[in-house]
């Protein structure tokens, strides 16, 4: 899977929420950095870090894909099947 396909594929719900939080942090930090008033240097520094972190979180969260073969439901079903197979092997002589 190349980057373009990965970027366009479906994203899990948790990472969609995380992406939106990252976009919110980026928007607030951008607004602080572009404010036309003089702000303390500490606030500008924190906003710069917020801009970097928000951008990174959003980008990474967007690239995470949902793999239908390895979904949690499939994994739990496989676990149940393997446990029942082990139980039946133990019961037979």
**For residue 33, what pLDDT band results from cuts at 50, 70 and 90?**
very high
Tell me: the pLDDT tens digits for 49-81?
Answer: 999 999 999 999 888 887 765 555 555 555 566
Instruction: Go through 32-65 and write b for each residue having 16 or more CB atoms within 10 A of its CB, e for each that does not.
Output: beeeeeeeeeeeeeebeebbeebbebbeebbebb
What's the whole-number average pLDDT of the chain? 81
- Whole-model pTM: value is 0.64
pLDDT at 83: 59
Taking the C-alpha atoms of residue 37 and residue 21, their distance in angstroms, rounded to an integer, is 26
């Amino acid at each position: 899977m190349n980057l373009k396909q990965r970027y366009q594929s479906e994203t899990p719900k948790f990472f969609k929420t995380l992406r939106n939080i990252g976009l919110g942090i980026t928007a607030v930090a951008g607004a602080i950095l572009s404010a036309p008033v003089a702000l303390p240097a500490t606030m500008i520094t924190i906003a710069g870090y917020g801009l970097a972190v928000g951008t990174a979180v959003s980008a990474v969260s967007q690239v995470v894909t949902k793999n239908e073969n390895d979904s949690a439901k499939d994994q739990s079903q496989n676990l149940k099947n393997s446990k029942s197979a082990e139980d039946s092997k133990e019961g037979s002589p």
